[in-house]
Amino acid sequence: MTRELDAGALELGGGLEVLLAASIDPMQPGARLLVRTPSRATAYELHGWAHRAGHRAVAERLPDGGPYELEIERGAHRGVLADPLPARASGPKPADGRMRTSELRWQAEVPASTPASCGFAPLGSIPELGAPRFDWTLNDRDTIWADDVAELVDQAGAAQWDAASAVPWDAALELSEFMERAVSQVMTFIAQNEYAALYVPARFLPGVNPAFPEMVMWLSRHVHDEARHIEVFTKRSLIGGQASYSLASTELSLHSLLEEHDFSGCALLLNVLGEGTFLDLLQFVDQHAPDAATRAAAALAHRDEVRHVHFGISHVRRRIALDPAERAALVAVAERRASKLTQMSGLSPLLVEGLTIMAAGSLQPAELSHGADAVKGLMKTMETNRLKRLAAAGFDPQTAQYLSDLHTPNLM
Amino acid sequence: MSRRGAELRIGAVSYHPRVVTIWEKFIEHFEHSGVPIDYILYSNYPRLVSAVLDGDVEIGWNTNTAFVELEQQLGEQAPILGMRDIDAEYATVILTRRGEGFEQAGQLSGRRLALGSRDSGHAAILPLYYLRQQGFDAETGCELIRFDTDIGKHGDTGDSELRVVRAIARGEADAGAIGEPTLAAFRGERLAELADIEVSWRSPTYYHCNFTALPTLDRELTQRWSEALLAMSYDDPPMRPAMTLEGVKQWLPGDRSGYEALADAMRQTLP
């Protein structure tokens, strides 16, 4: 059967080629398309288009005055080296005007594993053959997944903030010298740790198989959150004009964190233990910082870190539930790191000093005593909450206590 | 890949760096097909023709002009082992600015006609020949503007045809001849100069490139090689990029019937 196409005033280079392709591509090899045009020039030029597109011009009619016709037989090759697109069906549905990330899987479950060689094929797309082979490293769902990762992606997307304007920066300008030194040191310490919190997920990101877009989005948002934390705490440390130290003991702790290359191991060390402990630190700063800028920075970062800690707990719990042997493997991860930190003994005195002055609000002995009590309370709170988080992640009380004891004195 | 075991050496002209990409891929295909080849590149067709005649290569990937020259020098018919689908439906078109077209060849009289390289069958030799067949001698009736670039490459580079298009667009020529596939490629690339240019004349179709051997080449070997060539598929993912670069979607068997016009034209115009 020959299908007919009236080209109207369209010319090649002016849209006719799009109409031709849309008409002939879906046809069966050998089927014919009769193109009619009022332009003899276009009729002539259609031959070249047909041959270039892999079809054959089989008959031509050029009557004086037109209209002119060229009959084109569709070639046998496939336009795209893939199976034909399936018929249009229903897609994911938004609810209350929102399109949630979990809806990406409206059609099929998350696959347990996916070939390491696959490319950047968005969900639902049909990959064309002939693409280069990739070699992703994270191809098994269970080694990276958390059941609520899609929801966390949405939460992270909705909770972005602007470090340039979300903090009342002017409020940080009038602190006394001793207080500014204390705040600047604490801010520098936090910023230093936030670097590691960025570099660890960032290193996993390019290994994630693109068939797990939720993980790609989650790690990207995690990284983006940490970039904002580096920004906000660096800005706060600088704004008062008071320099402070980036401490070697912190470097040692973070260096050992970056030496861990197992995804779940990092989820335990960074998300559950490190960022978990930082939740209490940030809350302490939010409560005791002398200025609204520092308090706001800590409160905003805390909001993000809650998500990261939630992911870590959710991932580790799932991992252990699927494979109880993973529990021992994770303990070994913590032991391995602790063995590299044997030279560390307690939180840096400079940091303790800074936190104490913050909590005291002055250098008056009575208030300093109150500040020292607050820091002791913080350490206790950190341990209590660490044990709770480890329990939530699937560790029994004894193992949780052991892991908490192994945790770095640097907090992260 | 080792080419020491090559049963056949294919000569081709390096009109563009992509020729290496094409032949490196084709080598893989013939290796897998059990007819291992090597390729040798020449900078121009006269040298390739000599290489075939001298036995430096067993098969030449010739333009139609090179093929006719080869047979004229050989003094007998040379076996054709295959060609591209587009080689079997080649044509030349004459372009004019929109609204300045012509219906009959004679209406070109007095106009400036741009041509591509003088050794290009499709952009110089055949348009003059076919116009003459239609009763119009453009060499005396037109002011010819020749763009003799890349002589020896028989128009493969497309450079002279691009100059033809530009000359028409700038008003430096009134009409110009280029290969039909070249026009289709320029349109596909959205060449801006083509915006107000249209086709006024289309030549009869003729054959273009082919793989040529000498009659002395082992018949069974040429047969196996031709079969391997024809088996190359555009739907084979590894081969598609190389075939696209070569401008072929399907290889066709050799056939002699489409070179008479060019042979006639070359007898008339070349000493």
Q: Which of A77, A81, A83, A126 should we substitute to test contact with B (largest number of B Cβ atoms within 10 Å)?
A: A77
Tell whether A335 and A216 lie within a shared domain.
yes
Max CA pair span of chain B:
59
Tell whether B95 and B198 lie within a shared domain.
yes
The reply to whether B188 falls in a domain is: yes
The reply to whether A106 falls in a domain is: no
The reply to whether A103 falls in a domain is: no
* pLDDT score for A346: 86
- Judged against a pLDDT cut of 80, whether residue A398 lies above it is answered with yes
Higher pLDDT, A108 or B39: B39
Supply the DSSP string of B58-73, one letter for each residue: SEEEE-HHHHHHHHHH
CATH number of the domain to which B125 belongs = 3.40.190.10
Residues in contact with B14: Cβ distance below 8 Å, sequence separation at least 6, in sequence order: B20, B41, B42, B43
Instruction: Flag if B202 and A47 touch (Cβ within 8 Å).
Output: yes
* pLDDT score for A84: 87
Q: If you ran DSSP here, which 8-state letter would residue A30 be given?
A: T
Asked if omega into A409 is within 30° of 0 (cis), the reply is no
User: Number of folded domains in chain B?
Assistant: 2
- Judged against a pLDDT cut of 90, whether residue A163 lies above it is answered with yes
pLDDT digits 0-9 by tens, A246-261: 999 999 999 999 999 9
| Residue-level pLDDT, tens digit, chain B, 271 residues | 446 678 899 999 999 999 999 999 999 999 999 999 999 999 999 999 999 999 999 999 999 999 999 999 999 999 999 999 999 999 999 999 999 999 999 999 999 999 999 999 999 999 999 999 999 999 999 999 999 999 999 999 999 999 999 999 999 999 999 999 999 999 999 999 999 999 999 999 999 999 999 999 999 999 999 999 999 999 999 999 999 999 999 999 999 999 999 999 999 865 4
Average pLDDT rounded to a whole number, residues A100-109: 93
Instruction: Flag if B187 and A129 touch (Cβ within 8 Å).
Output: no
Of B202, B220, B247, the domain-final residue: B202
Tell whether B162 and B103 lie within a shared domain.
yes
Residues in contact with A69: Cβ distance below 8 Å, sequence separation at least 6, in sequence order: A34, A35, A36, A37, A43, A59, A60, A61
The reply to whether B224 falls in a domain is: yes
For the record, the structure tokens of A110 come out as 């998350």
Q: Within an 8 Å CB–CB cutoff, is residue A66 touching chain B?
A: no
Domain encompassing residue A54: 2-73
Q: Within an 8 Å CB–CB cutoff, is residue A61 touching chain B?
A: no
* pLDDT score for A325: 96
At residue A298, φ and ψ (nearest 5 deg) are: -65, -40
Tell whether B195 and B216 lie within a shared domain.
no
Nearest-CA distance B125 → chain A (Å): 20
The reply to whether A82 falls in a domain is: no
Tell whether A156 and A49 lie within a shared domain.
no
The reply to whether A128 falls in a domain is: no
Q: Which of A48, A76, A81 sits opposite B181 (nearest CB)?
A: A48
Name the nearest CA neighbour of A199 among A111, A268, A266, A107.
Answer: A266
At residue B23, φ and ψ (nearest 5 deg) are: -75, -30
The reply to whether A243 falls in a domain is: yes
Name the residue of chain A whose CA is nearest to B202's CA. Answer: A44
Question: Which chain B positions have a beta carbon within 8 Å of A75's beta carbon?
Answer: 249-250
Tell whether B195 and B96 lie within a shared domain.
yes
Instruction: Flag if B183 and A45 touch (Cβ within 8 Å).
Output: yes
Tell whether B124 and B256 lie within a shared domain.
no
CA dihedral of residues B175, B179, B181, B183 (deg, nearest 10): -20
Q: How far is CA A235 from CA A254, B25, B258, in A?
A: 21, 56, 77
Q: Which of A12, A51, A54 sits opposite B187 (nearest CB)?
A: A12
CATH number of the domain to which A321 belongs = 1.10.620.20
Nearest-CA distance B250 → chain A (Å): 8
Higher pLDDT, A145 or B269: A145
At residue B203, φ and ψ (nearest 5 deg) are: -75, 165
pLDDT digits 0-9 by tens, A337-374: 999 999 988 899 999 999 999 999 999 999 999 999 99
Of A46, A73, A100, the domain-final residue: A73
* pLDDT score for A165: 97
Of A50, A73, A96, the domain-final residue: A73
Residues in contact with B39: Cβ distance below 8 Å, sequence separation at least 6, in sequence order: B9, B10, B11, B12, B23, B26, B27
Instruction: Flag if A130 and B241 touch (Cβ within 8 Å).
Output: yes
Residue that the structure tokens 């006639």 belong to? B264
The reply to whether B3 falls in a domain is: no
Instruction: Flag if A49 and B89 touch (Cβ within 8 Å).
Output: no
CATH number of the domain to which A38 belongs = 3.30.110.40
Q: Give the strand pairing for B175-179 and B143-146.
A: unpaired
* pLDDT score for B3: 66
Tell whether A26 and A149 lie within a shared domain.
no
* pLDDT score for A345: 84
* pLDDT score for B5: 76
The reply to whether B2 falls in a domain is: no
The reply to whether A174 falls in a domain is: yes
- Judged against a pLDDT cut of 50, whether residue A61 lies above it is answered with yes
Tell whether B174 and B215 lie within a shared domain.
no
Mean pLDDT rounded to a whole number for chain A: 96
Residue that the structure tokens 């936030």 belong to? A194
A84-93, A144-153, A267-276, A323-332: the lowest-pLDDT one: A84-93
Of A73, A100, A128, the domain-final residue: A73
CB pairs under 8 A between A and B: 71
Average pLDDT rounded to a whole number, residues A169-179: 95
Q: Which of A44, A48, A81 sits opposite B235 (nearest CB)?
A: A81
**pTM tops 0.90, yes or no:** no
Rounded Cα distance, B67 and B51, in Å: 13
Instruction: Flag if B89 and A51 touch (Cβ within 8 Å).
Output: yes
pLDDT digits 0-9 by tens, A33-59: 999 999 999 999 999 999 999 999 999
Rounded Cα distance, B97 and A319, in Å: 71
Q: Within an 8 Å CB–CB cutoff, is residue A380 touching chain B?
A: no
Average pLDDT rounded to a whole number, residues A233-254: 96
Tell whether B95 and B157 lie within a shared domain.
yes
User: Number of folded domains in chain A?
Assistant: 2
To 5 degrees, how large is the angle CA A191–CA A192–CA A197? 85
Tell whether A179 and A278 lie within a shared domain.
yes
* pLDDT score for B59: 98
For the record, the structure tokens of B195 come out as 């915006």
Tell whether B104 and B75 lie within a shared domain.
no
The reply to whether A9 falls in a domain is: yes
Name the nearest CA neighbour of B258 among B64, B85, B49.
Answer: B64
- If one counts every other C-beta atom within 10 angstroms of the C-beta of residue A1, the result is 6
Tell whether B134 and B213 lie within a shared domain.
no
Rounded Cα distance, A110 and A401, in Å: 35
Instruction: Flag if B235 and A78 touch (Cβ within 8 Å).
Output: yes
Name the nearest CA neighbour of A215 among A142, A316, A116.
Answer: A142
* pLDDT score for B270: 54
The reply to whether A345 falls in a domain is: yes
Rounded Cα distance, B215 and B90, in Å: 26
At residue A393, φ and ψ (nearest 5 deg) are: -80, -5
Q: What is the ipTM of this complex?
A: 0.94
Tell whether B195 and B95 lie within a shared domain.
yes
Tell whether B224 and B245 lie within a shared domain.
yes
At residue A56, φ and ψ (nearest 5 deg) are: -120, 135
Domain encompassing residue B78: 8-87+208-260
Q: Which of A47, A49, A64, A70 should we substitute to test contact with B (largest number of B Cβ atoms within 10 Å)?
A: A47
Q: Which of A51, A68, A83, A129 should we substitute to test contact with B (largest number of B Cβ atoms within 10 Å)?
A: A51
Secondary element (H or E) of residue B38: strand B37-42
Q: First vs last Cα of chain B: how many Å apart?
A: 44
Average pLDDT rounded to a whole number, residues A217-241: 98
Secondary element (H or E) of residue B221: helix B219-231
The reply to whether B265 falls in a domain is: no
